Structure 1
Amino acid sequence: MKNKLIFSFLLLLSFVKLGLADNIQFTATAKTNVSVGEKFVITYSLNTNSAANFESPSFNGFTVLSGPNQSSSSSMQIYNGKTIQSVSYSITYIVMANNEGKFTISPATVFINGKTYKSNSLNINVGKGNSSTQSAGNNKNQHNQTVQENNTPTNVSDKDIFLKASTDKKSVVQGEQIIVTYKIYTNVQISQYVINKLPSYSGFWSQDITGKNNNVKQYNEDVNGKSYAVAEIRKVALFPQKSGTLTIEPLEVECLAQIKTKSKKDPFGDIFNDPFFSGFSNSFFDSYQNVKRVLNSNSLNINIEPLPETNKPNDFNGAVGNLSISSTIDNTDVKTGDAITLKVTISGSGNLSLIDKLKINFPPDFEVYDPKIVDNITLGSDGMKGSRTFEYLIIPRNAGQFTINPVSFSYYDLNKKQYITQTTDSYNLNIAKGNGNESNVSINAVNKEDIKYIGSDIRYIKKNNFNLKQTTHVFFGSLLFWGLFLIPILLFILFVVIWRKKIKENNNIALMKNKKATKIAQNRLKKAQLYLKDNNSNAFYEEIFKALWGYLSDKLNIPVSELSKETAGDALLNKSVTESTSHQFIETLNDCEFARFAPGGNTSQTMDSVYSEALNIISIIEKELK
């Protein structure tokens, strides 16, 4: 029972702890029914913007075409005195189903404020894909140029067309930007191309920088003395998240190469085989054959050096590049309750998108909300450049002179090969006492649309003397709560103890007879008294004998058949009954027998005397046995 009590108490505490836990939600969503070859989106959503070290699951049975692609948004409202902030952060993948069957994508993992969170798993049912056929013969233009598709690349060699991946750096430090470019080299005409499979970029944070309009940059390049037309079809900025040798997997592209063939229905035969007519013949009587080729780029091995531990600042959070920090504040002379906007901007080139919110020590009299992150980042051929701005909304609650200390920002400078720490200016604020009218709260910031003050949402601190009285009584944790919680448990324990004791006693027949001996004897004496009133001597003496011998048998746990005057006397002496009491019990039996059978024993006076003696001796023995 003690273990049950402890378990109940711990169970109650666990419910309280669950109610106080943070409400971070990490969910995965995707279509549950797809077909073989179908492309669909898998989205991982978070209701916070402070996620770090996202670990994607293994997409067994699927081909990752794109991802991880990251996006975030945030909004804030103050309504009826409550601050409501909505933050969303999502990571998306575009995948393609390869085979029929039922597949399970294991949970993804993310680390937030030192804690590990896992998403839900996804169950995907992949059905049979739909097949379609295309006509092989199709007139393309008015010059009778015939286009035919051939899936066997018999007319195009690997030297005629190939895909190559190159990087601007082969060895970098952790967090340093790498530009990977994918180029198609060809000396035959290409009518179209499609990217079938994108690399997963395991160990990297990736960002496509090909361009919004996907404009393909084209030029000529000599390879091993042979001229090729080159098209840069994809460019990606990578930021390594761990050290070691990381491998960039091949990119898969499917393209159609147009191969010129001679028409078999040339009515002029060898006349137009003369070089003089080659231009006329090629433009009118030649046809083209489409040859489908699947190209795979080479894989790349990148050596990632860890960041040096020597002289690493305590506030370093992984920023790498050529960066700088600046700050602005919209107002330094305000009243209590007025809003102030502090903007801290980090600009330059590097891993700007991976820089998390800064640690700023604001005065304790200020109410500060989570920053709004504004990105002005451009992704060009030379990588990621621009700025990331953190907008902090500050509301002073007390009047006085306050100082916002300089904000420190540390990063690893790629040019100097060392850690650099920069700080912003400090700001001295003069906060005057407000008029106490919350409806006049002003907001001088670019994010006015994100925050609304209605009526008396924010109440000011009262400094004058006033009396406090309790308006509500918290039931949880009060004496009444613990009393109502513990009393039923204690009563239950007491009930079980008594119940088990009762069962034990009932199983002890001798003990039960011992306890009931006096009561049974008293009942028989009462019955004898009734016979006494009716002057029924035979029944009276019979009940007196039963009362005396029955009491002695039950009390001493001796069967009646084994009892005699001699054994009764010895048994009483063994139970520490005095010799005089034992002798008195034997005398009472003798008087009862004499009165029963002697002449004149049936008189009411004689029976009354015997009754008194029997009642008296039973009472005396009961006292001495206790």
Structure 2
Amino acid sequence: MALKNIARTGILLALVVSVALFAVSSPVHAQSPQVTAEVDRTAPTLYDTVTLTVTVTGENNIGAPDFPTLSGLQITGRKITSQQTFRNGRVAAEFKFIVEMQPRHTGTIEIGPVSVPIGGDTYETDPITLNVTQGVPPAQTSPLPTQPFRPANSFLRPQGQTNQGDPSFQADVEDGAYFIESEVDNYSPYLGEQITYTSKFYSADPYFIRPIHSAPDFVGFWNPDRPDRREYPETIEGNGYRVVESSEILFPTIAGNINIEPSTVGVPGGMLSSSFTEYASPPIELQVRPLPSNEPPSFTGAVGQYEIEASLDSNDLAFGDSLTLTVEISGQGNFDTLPDPVWQDVPGWRAFENDSFHRTSVQDGTISGSKTFERVLIPDSPGDFDLPPIEYSYFDPEQEEYVTISSNAFSIKVAPDPNAVAAPDLSGAVDGSVEVADIRHIKPAPGGIGSPSNPTHLEPLVWGLGMLPVVALAVLIVWRWASARRQALLIANAPIRARREALSRLTKLDPSASGADAATAALHGYLSVVLTQSSSAMQLPELKLQLQERGASAETLQRLDALIHGLDQMRFAPPDMADVSNSSKAVADVVHRIEREVRT
């Protein structure tokens, strides 16, 4: 009995030590997963935009959230942000899934729970209730022109506005004038209808230097960020100009009066100089029309012109197998926010949705493409079934009416499972009985029951097998600790490696204007590591703000501003005027200053 108590005590102590070690080593993550959902307003009007934010903290092994059917709401935009930091030996992660929506009717609208898969488990948010009121539409203004005309949308020189028919126009041209104009191809589009915004910068300067163009923020529009820029000569009133044209595709997300802020163009004052003269176009005002209120039940917010096609991977299957229903919507419109079809419940079938994907291209200034949706269907029983057509409704802004399209129907045959065990045939029994084999009897007891010479729990093999889970647990603990340590070192040393790589690239620059591209790539490669996101895709003000929030000084930001402007000028300067050596030193100086000041 004493040996048995000692053995039990030893095993208990080993388990306690293992649990303690696991508790010390397991907090690699900052906290247990937390999933929350919130909206920026719970009492919107029909003219407001509601922003739904789903936040996941404490984990980085997460799947895509499963949003419920947003009945009564039209999705106007989606965005994902993430942030991961390593502090005090722990990795802290935060993901935000942002959906912008606009109410389609008044009354109570419920946003159901959002499901988020995390590490094999599923977390759900609480439902959210919106109370939508009619509200007051934006104030109406004077009717907008159906076609823009150049003088009203042109700025000639920074001093003010000038029509091309004015006498001063010719005088400014002789002085080497600049002017910028902007326009849209439709001043009264429907909600969600594609429009094209175009700005043109004219330069009569014979020593033309490509300007730096800054597009508006396009608040109230979905912008696929596919700018089209080109240059060409043009003659106006007998004067030659070099024209830099930039076009952006937009989709209005808010009904009512919307202003597009001015486009600005900065003209460099000289080679490697940080001075600029800025020219701005006047703002543009649009009257965005809401969609008609007689939408069909299958309408979920699509605007454009579309076609539908559906297919099955098989029409014959065995019970227990599954099939995949693929629905493709193709045509012209905003495929980034194109909503799902209204899926109908099919009796006798279970359905599971896969992630959708889309492909787009720009043809003749119009976004065309397709979006594919997939559903996995599993039958509940064998038999013959008919799947009804899939309906999809959209609003056609050209016809100014709702259109409903539908796919073909499908006939499916589900055969019985060939591996199923058949039930016994009782049809031949007269009284309902059937002869079956008797059950096997229990083995009779032996003549005597004895005890082994050595207790089983004292055998060395039993001890070894008992300690095997403890040893495996200890190995797992050490492996997890080492993995977390390696990850921490990689995160901590990423800025240092980025600085070394940037400085190494600077020593290999080509002493010509093409070296400016390499210097720019080296600078943005370092900044992208420091900011944990692509810095080349940021506007300069946003880039400076991000660095300022991380501790960059005003002098460092000023040097970065001058450096980026100087590199932009050098990229288009003649080879004999490109001072790559000084630019390389300037990049190295900015990199060293950011490394000293910025918190990573």
TM-score, scaled to structure 1? 0.41
Give the structure with higher Rg (CA).
1
TM-score, scaled to structure 2? 0.43
